[in-house]
Chains A and B, each alone.
Chain A
Amino acid sequence: MQDEEIHLPPPTLWPLGFAIGIAVILVGLIIDPLWISSIGGAITLVFGFLWIRDASAELRGHRIVVEPERRQVVEAGAGQVGPSAQAGGDAMPHPAPGERFPRSKFLEASTLGLGGVIGGLITVPVAGFAVLPSFLGQKRHRVDMGPVADYKEGQWYVATFNTDPKEGDVARRTAFVRNNGSLAVSGRQEPSFTIISNRCAHLGCPVQANGPSGAILGLKSQTEKGANGPVTLNPTVPAGFGCPCHGGQYDTEGNRTAGPPVRALDRYDYEIDNGRLVLLSTYSVSHVDGQGAQAKIHKYKSVGPGEHVDGPEQWFYPINPPHH
């Protein structure tokens, strides 16, 4: 420890030849694996051996001769052409003891500042790319469900349709549809439908109709040719709706009757276009008074399953993400 010598590896040029050998092997793999690569292998082996021989000279007891430093350390100012660095006054006042040079403070601040700017320039667009598409430009869907006349008055149908055929089967949705007959709206007779989403208001599992299929009434399932692809209508005779996941139960208006759901089932807005039923966006419902065409629906903006829309619990969700 006391008389520690400067320890340096012996100088060697052979790694250069070793690297060339490897390059020749790689070129040979493309041009002529047999000959060129063999030559490259030979070069690599020879120079590798020489390199190891040089590198292990110390191990083999050779004395390593390190070329002495030939540059001379010149006293500041001595023998220089220009004025000495010490000549003249200080360019900058010396800091008080414990104080740092203004220049190092400036360099530190500018390094941190520039780094922050560069980091921000990279992070902001990338974070926006990661987050914003989930919230902006959400598509609205219009789903053509076939002629109104195909929906027998008072009959429930389990309707399966695709909101966005380009997405494939992952965009298939199910709703419970009932034609309530016509309803007088400001002096005009208009068709009235109850269209309940099958997305459970607890955690979003698919709610099922509690009851037999329409086959017991002699009704067959039918397929409508909608603009968004086929819509299957399976007649059903439900006493209510129930969720298989955690047992939430609803009546035929979608009001919660038992289990964990926090509100009634969501419903679809709809319009009648040229005698055809068209599904629009969903909206959320706290509860429904009355039934069928006369039902009074307590409507709210569409929110996720498990979110309260009324009562003090709604205060937990003051700002909802944008929804169509």
Chain B
Amino acid sequence: MARQLSRAQVRKQRMQDAVNFPLDWLEERSGLVGGVRYFLFRKVPGDTNWMQTLGSATLTAFLVQAITGVILAMYYKPTPNDAYASIQNITDHVTMGWLVRGMHKWGASVFIILMFLHMGRVFLFGAYKYPRELNWVIGVLLLTMGMMEGFTGYLLPWDQTAYWASVVGINLNGTAPFLGPWLAQFLRSGQEISGDTLTRFYSLHMLLVPGGIMALIGLHLYLVIRLGVTSPPWSKEAAGSELVEEPAAATAARPGLTRPVARGTAAGGSE
């Protein structure tokens, strides 16, 4: 430890300090660096499977929907007289509009398909079992809200397919016992489909439901991080091994900050 450092080693050490200094500054004031490390550098079973990337794929598909949706909202006009024309304008005239609208339209199916595949993986791996039941429930809520997005988004092109599909969809809700007729009339914003139905679906589609989805994604990820990743069912690894805390002394000068520590460094070892 008291060994003399070479000139190159000293320079390397200085460089590291210079890079770490702003990170330490941020960490000391926010805890963000530690939070990101806690979030990303987790202990994962050694024999995880490509199927376990389906959740991240679903998240990516959602982010694509969110970003393309925000941009489409800059050009879309949710009024009965303008909606169809504005969609045509986006597709035919706005630069790259065909691409962004296409990403949003086809990405919607990708999002739903990925949710089902992710759900199938969780089911087949038995990853919904104790202690992860609550995350399964949140996932089912996310699936439901994803379908609400599909339902409300389908009306927005305001063409014949959109109109009649929404008529049938709303009336399907209306056949539910007891509260069905009330739900249908709420969705329709009255007894008949009108311009208010369009703006209502637009608001649900771009504000209320996505907000709910984002909140639930936050909870979903929190539970994934808290409970860890499940091993595949064929895994031979011992389940439930505890995360070994990094030896405190290895974090050098100030505790709890961002000094990089080599994996498996023994306590007290530096460089």
Contacts and interface: CB of A to CB of B under 8 A. Distances in A.
Contacts of B185: 134-135, 304, 321
B164 A205 contact: yes
5 contacts: A133-B189, A167-B195, A170-B194, A305-B175, A317-B178
Interface of B: 17-18, 21, 25, 28, 80-81, 164, 167-168, 170-172, 174-175, 177-178, 180-182, 184-186, 188-196, 248-249, 254-255
A4 B255 contact: yes
Contacts of A153: none
Nearest to B249: A1
Contacts of A1: 248-249, 255
A167 B197 CA distance: 12
B81 A168 contact: yes
A49 B195 CA distance: 57
Q: Is the interface of A mostly helix, strand, loop or mixed?
A: loop
A56 B21 contact: yes
Nearest to B79: A168
B247 to A, nearest CB: 11
Nearest to B14: A59
A59 B170 CA distance: 65
Interface centre among B17, B25, B190 (most CB of A within 10 A): B190
B170 to A, nearest CB: 8
A305 B171 contact: yes
Nearest to A244: B164
Contacts of A4: 255
A134 B164 contact: no
Describe B's contact surface by its main secondary structure.
helix
A22 B154 CA distance: 46
A318 B178 CA distance: 6
A100 interface: no
A304 B176 CA distance: 11
Given A131-B186, A168-B195, A321-B182, A245 B168 contact: yes
Given A56-B21, A324-B191, A304 B80 contact: no
Contact of A59 (B17, B28, B164, B188): B17
B255 to A, nearest CB: 5
Given A4-B255, A131-B186, A307-B175, A321 B168 contact: no
Interface string A15-44: 000000000000000000000000000000
A197 B175 CA distance: 19
Contact of A304 (B171, B186, B194, B195): B171
A158 interface: no
Interface of A: 1, 4, 7, 55-56, 59, 131, 133-135, 138, 163, 167-171, 203-206, 245, 302-307, 316-318, 320-321, 323-324
A7 B25 CA distance: 12
Contacts of A307: 174-175, 180-181
Contacts of B174: 304-307
Contact of A204 (B81, B171, B194): B171
A205 B166 CA distance: 10
Contacts of B81: 168
Contact of A316 (B25, B168, B177, B191): B177
A231 B201 CA distance: 30
Contacts of A206: 164
A204 B191 contact: no
B82 to A, nearest CB: 10
A324 B191 CA distance: 9
A134 B181 CA distance: 12
A129 B243 CA distance: 51
Contacts of B193: 170
Given A1-B248, A203-B172, A305-B171, A134 B188 contact: yes
B167 A203 contact: yes
Given A167-B80, A204-B167, A303 B190 contact: no
B121 to A, nearest CB: 34
Contacts of A135: 182, 185-186
Given A4-B255, A204-B167, A304-B184, A134 B189 contact: yes
Given A306-B172, A316-B178, A171 B194 contact: yes
A61 to B, nearest CB: 10
A1 B174 CA distance: 65
Contacts of A317: 177-178, 180-181
The listed residue with most B CB atoms (<10 A of its CB), out of A59, A168, A320, is A59
Which of B168, B194, B255 has the most chain A CB atoms closer than 10 A to its own CB? B168
A134 B167 contact: no
A20 B172 CA distance: 61
A59 B21 contact: yes
A59 to B, nearest CB: 5
* Residue among A131, A302, A317 with max Cβ neighbours from chain B (10 Å): A317
Contacts of A168: 80-81, 195
Contacts of B177: 316-317
A2 to B, nearest CB: 10
B85 to A, nearest CB: 13
A207 B34 CA distance: 63
A207 to B, nearest CB: 12
A171 B175 CA distance: 23
